Amino acid sequence: MSRTLRVICADLPAPPLFWKDEQGYRHGYESDLARVLAARLGREAEFVYRNWADFYPALDAGEGDLLLCGQGISDYRKTLGDFTEPYAVFDEAVMVLRGSPIRSPADLVGKRVGAIANSLNMALAETFSGCITVPFGGDSEDVMGDMVKALRAGEVDAFVDDDVALVPLADEPDLAIAFVAPTHNRWGMVVRKGNPEWLAEVDAALAALKADGELERIWKRWMPSLAYPF
């Protein structure tokens, strides 16, 4: 068995989930979870950076042992890999330019609403009656940055992402959260399909982190304003 746990993830700033400092050290909730999970499995975490669109092909190709990077559990994604039990639960939010009159789904009629293609965020956007959905491809090195740029350029009127990712952005002087949708999306780690023994091993390690309070400690370190969901 390898002594490293190869964790597929994105190399972009998305605090408080993950980001790198000037020395290249990866911080954040998901980063710390990867390290303590690896330790529980008797390994050391190694981060394998891929663009969003390449996550599942990389997993299928054996370039990583698991995928741990903002994957809400959806029926579509279950066709691409096997999910662990959830390690996080988040709501979704809609971001607009500060001063926008958008305050509810009803205000999105005729508006262009961005979201990552084939994501739970896009699934939510598609429920907003009368809006025009604008998919953003995951082949970008910074799809969140692409959506922010599109909003600032007037190419979209709003975009959808998980509340945990948008709360830090709302500190920008020109950005604001229009409203939060209480979707309670469950996020899981993903392993390559057809390996139930490995999935069970990862699930057991995650369950142990929940049972001894380690996961809660990491959550409260990085996201003290959000209620721990387990």
Tens digit of each residue's pLDDT (9 = 90 or more) over 178-215:
999 999 999 999 999 999 999 999 999 999 999 999 99
Domains and CATH numbers, the chain: 4-89+186-222 (3.40.190.10), 90-183 (3.40.190.10)
Do residues 100 and 178 touch, judged by C-beta distance below 8 A? Answer: yes
Specify whether the backbone of 160 is left (phi greater than 0), alpha (psi in -120 to 50) or beta: beta
CA distance 84 to 201: 10
**Considering the entire predicted model, what is its pTM?**
0.85
Instruction: Copy the structure tokens of residue 230.
Output: 């387990």
Give the amino acid at 173.
Answer: P
pLDDT in tens, 131-151: 999 999 877 778 889 999 999
Is 150:114 a contact under the CB 8 Å cutoff? yes
